[in-house]
Chains A and B, each alone.
Chain A
Amino acid sequence: MSGEPVSGLPAAAQVVEEALAASTSAACVVIVDELFDANVRFANNTMTTNGVRRDRRVTVVSFAESPSGMRAGVASASGPVEPAGLVAAAESEAAGASPAEDASPLEPTGADPAFAAPPETTDLGVFAALLQELRLAFGAARAEGRVLAGFASHEVRTTYLGSSAGGRHRHVQPTGAVELVARRPDGTASAWAGRAATDFADVSLAALDGELRRRLGWAGRRVDLEPGRYEVILPPDAVADLVLELDFAASGREAEDGGTVYSAGSGRTRLGERLTALPFEAWSDPAAPGLECTPFVVAPSSNVDTSVFDNGLPIGAVHWIEDGVLRHLRYHRAGARRAGAAFAPPADNLLLALPGTELSCDDLVARTERGLLLTCLWYIREVDRPTLLLTGLTRDGVYLVEGGEVVAAVNNFRFNESPLDVLGRTIEASASERALSREWHEWANRTAMPGLRVAEFNMSSVSPAS
């Protein structure tokens, strides 16, 4: 694409060095996030909003010594930033802060020889093939009485991190996804499909459209079912919707404080406790094939289990659940020291597997005597923290399975379920594969999940939505 919206910004590595040179504090960390983003959106068989974005955010963390302990101050800015001005702002914030509970020494974390390389970019050209397919799909949809809506986005983020302890790190993170919804114009049927895409070379919109045609075909027969507990098949995308909530809740400090699903009471956590009878494995790993993500800590601010003092530290594989047993909760270094637990920084991916299964998700359907295939979940929110009870809805495709085959489409439901109970009532799982959570993929794009066949899934009420 011509007319790339870039100009007037000095090189990121140079900004890092200038800011570090301007620092007058005991220690300093500088993060530059370079973002290029392209997206196309469509609905009602027509293109709607499309565009490109070029963002850059510079974050300075200043560490100041004081008699009562280290203080940290953060200032960040996008736009025409003077590094020295941002350093002054961060130092002023540190002066106004109270001593940091998460203080740890800033570590010399090594220097990446490619640190000074320019950022990688993307533009609307990445969608060239996809848009050709889309044009054809629009034509077919108009002719055949379907209405298509969807979204494709591609973002390339290059992160630069430098510290006064000598750390120099750079990471390029492409993130993409395409989603397609097909509906009947009269509202009698709809279906969703989504795929994560690193570069869009291996995504076929036509294939997604074909899958949706098959599912709209399943809606040729419609059965209305009452609320109640049903055996269900959750495909990997829907499993990601639920299991990511287990991950979001996995804060060590919050578990100690009490009232989370990982709390054991009286300041204790459930670390070491068996969570599921089946030997599930849940882990994150920056080196996971196909799900690669930033292999060092990037913390532009501190929160309950992320610390600005840990910036630049390597992130390895963390096995949160091993053989069904809770092995790790998220802790920054200071929190881990205090709790006598392991430093466990999260990576920007999540994998779940039940070892030993070779089944496919279609096999799960084929092995179901009577159950509901829930292709897509939506609007999932926490209802009760201690049990991690979630509520949410089925959307764009619930199907009745009888004798191992899909026989009809079913009305939508509201469910109330805890993901831990879902793992606990799992009958069998399929082999893990790349999944895209419809609910959370904008924040958690990189997941691999099994499909699950689950007993007694709680459908609380019927939703008339279609």
Chain B
Amino acid sequence: MAVLDEGFAALEFDALRSAALERAGELGCRHADLRVEKIRTQSVTLRDARLEGAVDDLSIGMGVRVVRAGAMGFAGTVATDVDAAGQLVAAAVDAAAVAARAGGEAVELADEPEHGVVEWAASYRIDPTEVPLADKVARLGAWSAGLLRARGVEHVTASLLCVAEDKYFANLAGTIARQQRVRLQPSLEALAAAEDSSTFETMRTCAPPVGRGYEYLDGEGWDFTAELAELPELLAEKLRAPSVEPGAYDLVIDPTNLWLTIHESVGHATELDRALGYEAAYAGTSFATPDKLGELRYGSELMNVTGDRTTQYGLATVGFDDEGVEAQRFGLVSDGVLVGYQLDRRIAAAAGLGRSNGCAFADSPLSIPLQRMANVSLRPAAGRGPTTAELIGGIDRGIYVVGDKSWSIDMQRYNFQFTGQRFFLIERGRLAGQLRDVAYQATTTEFWGALAAVGGESTYLLGGAFNCGKGQPGQVAPVSHGAPSALFRGIRVLNTRAESGR
């Protein structure tokens, strides 16, 4: 859709900025920011190696947020002319006035230096949204056909999501940021059935979504050929596997699974807006309240977690956030103790914590920026550190958990339950075949308190998701989580068939 992209390239950003921010100044706004964005989103899905559906979408629009007389207001529109920019400011000021009439605390934003005119682009070579549909269908089709040729595989679904974001940001303080990034998420799932149709199993690829270009599919950052080659045999083994005996097990959790547990039990729990009750109506709150900062024992001393919006290839990586705050790296859990939170400017000011650490994000020009998750990652062991095999080697009876699947956690981020793509029984330090129907369930601080070993750099992988949900109206944010393989002692394992009463 190059012809349509030209419409964005031709926009007169300086004129839009002047129209919006001068109007905001005239109307007495204390803060105002304008975002003009172009988001190209493509999805392709195949079923049994045949094209099922494809979408090529281009979203262009503007959003204005103001703080005026202690209240916040937002307006967004798909019109992108100078008149619309002025009208948008007036609409945002109206929204702030409506909020002010209902009463409440005055909104303040934490100070942030002016950064002048800055540019930032993510690390990638080939914009995945510029690759023709036929190439994507051919690639996913060939991968699907390869799986379908394998004995026992009955059906294969394949999908590829590609996004390219182009963002212009300007605020009343004088920061003007142009930023550009891409991301993609390839996924294939195979289904197998027992000969008498009594049992079905699926297995999905573990290749994480990443902030890389199309070169990812050529093997930069993930070995698709190797993963697809072993998938049918792993699936066949899973179909034959015995059902798990419920009880307490030592778990070695692969980063392909652990990233999601980090996301839910640490990432969301250390969002200060949640901890202060600002998300109580929807996403929930957090057990990790600010009165426990510097004291709460989150996990064992091996637990070190950082928030980072600068991680290379990270899905939450930017140069500047959607409030004009420079991207940063900061501690959340240090030696097992809660030491920090993810912040945006409003929450940083409300909590008296000084400067924001740059976690504001809006998922579209028509969405208001919220505090959203940084790339929240668990640090691997220093030095060479153990390999996954060495972690497994130290266990008498346990389960090795690979790949994410089902997830659920309570409103205060205590009680969680996860399943996975595959579960291998560990007996006397060796893998002893797969198990079926496994879920692990724990309370956050007990789980992280049971962290007994972290793998070395060789086990480290950046996992993540495109679709982290938060806010009302709901917004989705992409985010990555780095993790090594890690060992957790004595975690409760359920049998999901038994849970369903069967």
Q: Which residues of A contact B (CB under 8 A)?
A: 1-9, 37, 39-57, 73-82, 85-86, 88-89, 93, 96-98, 100-102, 124, 127, 131, 134-135, 138-139, 147, 149-151, 153, 179-181, 183, 190, 192, 253, 257-259, 263-266, 300-304, 308, 378-387, 389, 391-393, 395-396, 412, 414, 416-418, 421, 442, 456, 458, 460-466
Q: Does B95 contact A (CB under 8 A)?
A: yes
A391 & B408 in contact (Cβ 8 Å cutoff): yes
Contact string against A for B residues 253-265, beta-carbon threshold 8 Å, 1 for contact and 0 otherwise: 0000000000000
Q: Does B178 contact A (CB under 8 A)?
A: no
Say yes or no: A8-B81 contact (C-beta < 8 A), given A150-B281, A301-B53.
yes
List B278-316 residues whose CB lies under 8 Å from chain A.
278-282, 284, 287
Minimum CB–CB distance from B137 to chain A (whole Å) comes to: 6
List B72-124 residues whose CB lies under 8 Å from chain A.
72-81, 83-84, 87-96, 98-105
Q: Does B496 contact A (CB under 8 A)?
A: yes
Q: Does B61 contact A (CB under 8 A)?
A: yes
Minimum CB–CB distance from A332 to chain B (whole Å) comes to: 11
B281 & A179 in contact (Cβ 8 Å cutoff): yes
Assembly CA distance A138 to B101 (angstroms):
12
Assembly CA distance A135 to B279 (angstroms):
19
Q: Which of B169-177, B327-335, B373-381, B435-443 contacts A (4 or more CB under 8 A)?
A: B435-443
Assembly CA distance A389 to B90 (angstroms):
49
Q: Which residues of B contact A (CB under 8 A)?
A: 1, 3-4, 7-8, 38, 43, 45, 47, 50-61, 65, 71-81, 83-84, 87-96, 98-105, 132-134, 137, 141, 154-155, 191, 193, 196-198, 200-202, 276-282, 284, 287, 366-368, 370, 406-415, 417, 419, 437, 439, 441, 443, 471-474, 492, 494, 496-497, 499-502
B79 & A8 in contact (Cβ 8 Å cutoff): yes
Q: From A1, A82, A131, A135, give the contact of B4 (CB < 8 A).
A: A82
Q: Top 8 nearest A-B pairs by Cβ distance?
A: A46-B104, A265-B197, A79-B60, A3-B90, A51-B74, A259-B200, A465-B412, A149-B281
B472 & A389 in contact (Cβ 8 Å cutoff): no
B410 & A465 in contact (Cβ 8 Å cutoff): yes
B98 & A54 in contact (Cβ 8 Å cutoff): no
A42 surroundings in chain B (CB, below 8 A):
102, 104, 281
B408 & A5 in contact (Cβ 8 Å cutoff): no
CB closest chain-B residue, reference A380: B408
A79 surroundings in chain B (CB, below 8 A):
7-8, 38, 58-61, 78-80
Say yes or no: A54-B73 contact (C-beta < 8 A), given A76-B58, A131-B102.
no
Assembly CA distance A264 to B80 (angstroms):
53
A101 & B52 in contact (Cβ 8 Å cutoff): yes
A149 surroundings in chain B (CB, below 8 A):
277-281
A393 surroundings in chain B (CB, below 8 A):
408, 410-411, 415
CB closest chain-B residue, reference A412: B410
A97 & B137 in contact (Cβ 8 Å cutoff): yes
B406 & A383 in contact (Cβ 8 Å cutoff): yes
B439 surroundings in chain A (CB, below 8 A):
383, 391
A384 & B497 in contact (Cβ 8 Å cutoff): yes
